[in-house]
Structure 1
């Protein structure tokens, strides 16, 4: 109120003050995902963290998928962190694969793929440790391997690295095949399987069998010489000898 002098009279005037109100509206911000590892490798039975740190206004809702299926929040094998990351408590082979993190709010959607690789130490399965093979035959020294990632296989003979040749080659299974076996192939063989999770070895032996087989052992032989119908003893009249047989031959050897 104010008093105003008008024609010698004081009158009262009411002043109206207008107040303007400004409405503050929240600004929407689409989700963003912080850069992080896109591939995670972990040993079996160890914990794994798949990062998906998100931000946005309002705070985005995060969901995880594996092979297209949404991961349930009540699974005891993993938990979801407040920042959106996925924590796997004890990684197993079945956990291997691609994961998709999706962050969503009213302003949009953002996603990120993370691949999980679970390492498993190599294992060699072979029931045979001793091999027997005749000369000129072929033999396969078994070394079946398993592991993740698939193990690489190397062979040693008598402590030395074995190189592949025309006669000796490593099969895709890891086993060693030897063709046209020679006496020099006899010895101790070691199969070694290795990957990012560890190394394991298996030792085996190869015995090369002669073409001739001593079936009778040592025998006493009496040798006589007949000349014009008359027999004469060879001196000495008895001696030790071994008799050997093969598929198509007979051999008599004096020892």
Structure 2
């Protein structure tokens, strides 16, 4: 509503009129942009428009209509803002997505590309191992990943990161090798693969077996009820991280 006033010393007069805008050319206020998403996640394309009447927004991939005011297929949702939600993402969702805004007398399009990565995961996890003291232990850790992304491996013993020392400990292609193992190497080891397309961790336990210690506090006494037998006892020794199978008793007669 517009009003016009005229004033002078004699007074004031006014008149008014109304302007009604019935049509404004459609345009994009926020264009969709290219996205890169990992399989299993969600993707949200933006597409905001202006115009009068309000433009009708629809989305297509190639020639396939995915979402509009009257059409919607599973996993593709037309948002109130005009954007498109794709959830969950599959490999076959890669491609060009076109947002179309249809106004009273115009049709405008904007296109963005969706790139989908395969999720990175550990395909060969480390497994529990028992090695003899002084030998070499190798904990494997291999990952399957999208060839377009880079991955890196990190090993931890408990909560402490392991750094290749160039000595006993080395990491090659994700696998951890510990040479000249000893009891101090016993523990839980975790392999973590990190990438732009996801992270994953898997753990395994390393046990180092060594010779059992000698029995302690050996004592012997005659059996009062049987002159041909003795009572022999000792303190159970450290088992070397492996169950004791049996004891060997020897008699020496002089």
* TM-score between the two structures when normalised by the length of structure 2: 0.50
Larger radius of gyration between Structure 1 and Structure 2: 1
User: Is the strand fraction higher in 1 or 2?
Assistant: 1
